[in-house]
Structure 1
Amino acid sequence: MDALELARKLQEEATCSICLDYFTDPVMTSCGHNFCRECIRLTWEKAKGRKGGRKRKGSFPCPECRELSPQRNLRPNRLLTKMAEMARQHPDFQSRDLCAVHQELLKLFCEDDQIPICVVCREAREHRPHRVVPIEEAVQEYKEKVKEQRRRIMVEFEKVSLLLLEEEQRLLQALKAEDEEVGARLRESSATLERQGHSLEMLLLQLEDRNEHSPLQMLQDMKELLNRKNSLSVQYPEVTPTVLRTVCRVPGQIEVLKSFQEDVVLDPTTAYPYLLLYESRQRRYLTTPLEGALHSKERFLAYPCAVGRETFSSGRHYWEVGMNLTGDALWALGVCRDNVSRRDRVPKCPENGFWVVQLCKGKKYMPSASAPTPVTLAEPPSHMGVFLDFEAGEVSFYNLKDGSHLHTYAQQQFSGPLQPFFCLGAPKSGQMVISTVTLWVKG
């Protein structure tokens, strides 16, 4: 007999047949059956009121065998008290191992209903047509499925890792080739300028040397020098663009970031008085230009800005912004500290609590004036993603049109809670779309 069967047997012996729970202060009748003292007392109390319930004065039928047993003959069963206490504390037996309906061990597994059942349930009409296997066999099958799934996960991630490694090598090779190409063109331009500079320097030396000759000799040599000067063609090298053609684009990265996507909700109480917010689902404006709005401490007054209601002080968060902007648009988006200055015009840089990208007059797309290497794009993106990793101290920006990475701010840690930040420029500079809210500056 295994430990579970032993535990079950102990449970059966230590259970009162009246209350179906472990014995409490068990007593034995003269016929040898055991019950909780309170259970047998209540049973006999009920029997007093029944017609013909009492067969002899002071005697009552046993609930198990119906034999008459004098009430005064009830004897405490100390051994059963100890057994009941052992059953309560037995670590190998839990109620979850028993069928809730039949109080039998759950030895079988119904594959149709995906639940464990007992042998009595197996014969019931509900489970009779189903495929039923021993629970040990079902556990083994489950372990095999887990093992196979683990193998598949490892194989698929290995494939993705290989593809990412190949793409990484391709991008690095493309960047190296671009570096060598631009370097070669710059070196060629430098060499051309150096040769032309040497020729001009030699001509200048000859002119200075002729300056020491007699006037007649100078006039005689001038024709030759002028011919040499006219034959010397100064060629300016072609402009070599320094904007990188190779972009950082990791396959599947945007899909991974979308697992952290937030439904960012703009806070109308923080919006610049003439920054209009229109909710498309509600078909109404969330803000209107009001004179009283100038008195709000939460409202931006220096720029047409607004922030999200969410305040992030931990975790990873991602949101997307759509843009329909004109060529002369001035805008910025990213995150800001929740306590940034909202009434003063300050540079939008990390030192002032802003981690943003900006577009200046449709030409430059830069993190901030203090950033060492501004990010320059050929054209402004129409759809951008912002990813905040608070614990890592990073804010990253992505062009969702091609999935390319644009810029990442990285620092040791953020000094306080952050909020999504949005800013538009002058009237007629275009629109931003955050979730279902469109914002623009009233003209």
Structure 2
Amino acid sequence: MAAATCLPAEDQLLCSICLDVFTDPVTLSCGHNFCNTCITAHWDTNVPHHCPVCNRLFHFRPELHVNTLISEMAAQIRHGAHQESRSSEQHAAKPGDVPCDVCTGPELKALKSCLVCLTSYCETHLEPHLTKSGLKRHQLIDPVKNLEDRMCKKHDKLLELFCKSDHMCVCMMCAMLDHKTHDVVAMKDECEGKKSELVKTEAEIQQMIEKRRVKIEEIRRSVELSNKAADREMEEGVQVFTALKETVERSQAELIKTITEKQRTTEKQAEGFITELQQEICDLKKRSSEVEQLSRSEDHLHLIQSFPSVNTAATAPTKDWAEVTITPPSYEGTVVRAVNQLKETLSEQMRLLYEVELKRVRRHAVPVTLDPDTAHPRLILSDDGKQVAYGDITKDLPPTPKKFSYCACVLGKQSISAGQVYYEVLIKGKTAWDLGVAEESVNRKGQIKANPQNGLWTISLRDGRRYYAPAGPTVHLCLTSQPEKVGVFVSYEEGLVSFYDADTAALIYSFTGCSFTGKLYPFFGPSPSDAGVNSAPLIICSVNQEEGIQHH
């Protein structure tokens, strides 16, 4: 049978120098014990050597040996103290924890709360509930605060039932007295039902979270595509403007070259005349010198003999410079001609640019059909919903909220509330029309003044030659050619409505910075037939994204 371990009290294992539990204890011949480091330090500063307790003198400094028995007992005491400290730290109640209601010293963290005793217990004080048969039947739950709130204020009984009729927790007395005709169930059963609902709710929440994660990825992909599109557009824009800049610089260089060449030709001609005149001056000076020398001669025979040749040479005919002039070159029109040439070059570049732009816009083409429920009674729609013309007879149709009853126009069936949309309308043979988009809320029962303020973004033709955009104020459009097919492009988020000559790719007009507040619909106004002059219909065309551009 193993012997029980019996340790002395902690105060019996204290060093009399440091007053702490022994560390490497040594025993002197007088029987007193000290820490090895303590007695060594004491003797290093105190001579002669003596015992700090009994003052026994030692003639020689004693050789020190560790007392293994006392060292082991001191080590066990230190280990027990450390374990107790760690246990106390681990179980000490922290802010937010439920403290033990029984502890009288430092508050320890409660492990369980008893719904019968209405008390919270730490690990030590919980033991009776785990071992005593009478307390084992008590209901233990995870520690909670304010256990008194779980008691019925009226009967001072535990709230352990749930009244489904009144949706409230009740005690046994409440169930028998105030809720005896109600649907009362055990709180545990109600909790199971609530847990099932919570599981379902949690699943729904997780589904909502997943949907939002998918939406985040969708938005990120959209931003990524937008960034790529922006980079591509920026790159193309830089290329276009670089080409335009090079064209302008080239035209400028050619202009400077032309003017410089004219200037150099004039200078070269002048230099030739000046050189010739200077040579003639030298010749004339030579003649003058010969004449002067002969006129001063005293040799009569020499003068008479030389006179004929000298006089003939002196009076020899020379070039008549009276009619010779330097006419400065004419620079009038040089800059104008250069600018016109540049304009033609830029126009060609713009045409190519418009072709690229229209091809890009055509990628957003959608099928559009006319909505007969919105058509004015005077209008005639084709069976396929692709053509509309102005009729001579007003049809007797019942009025509806969607129908235009005053202005002879019709809307498309397809609404525009997001993204980008493009469609084309054939207007060949017509002398008047209105095309564009209209808000769903546009006035359908009275006169409409076409402008964005009234929910209309359109362009119009009148008298076969007057094009304008009722932008408020009206913008008159100067077109180089009459379009036979008009393309309509809408970018909802960008607030843009653009009109193109679908054959030449020329931009006719753009409404920018628009504020759309609701659905938009394609808008068609064929205008009165004007005694047959404007009887041709407006025709919605199918868009071929690879269709070529006509060049005029």
TM-score tier after normalising by the smaller chain length: 0.3 to 0.5
Calculate the TM-score normalised by the size of structure 1: 0.42
Query: Would you tell me which structure has more strand in proportion to its own residues?
Result: 1
Higher Rg: 2
Calculate the TM-score normalised by the size of structure 2: 0.34
Query: Would you tell me which structure has more helix in proportion to its own residues?
Result: 2
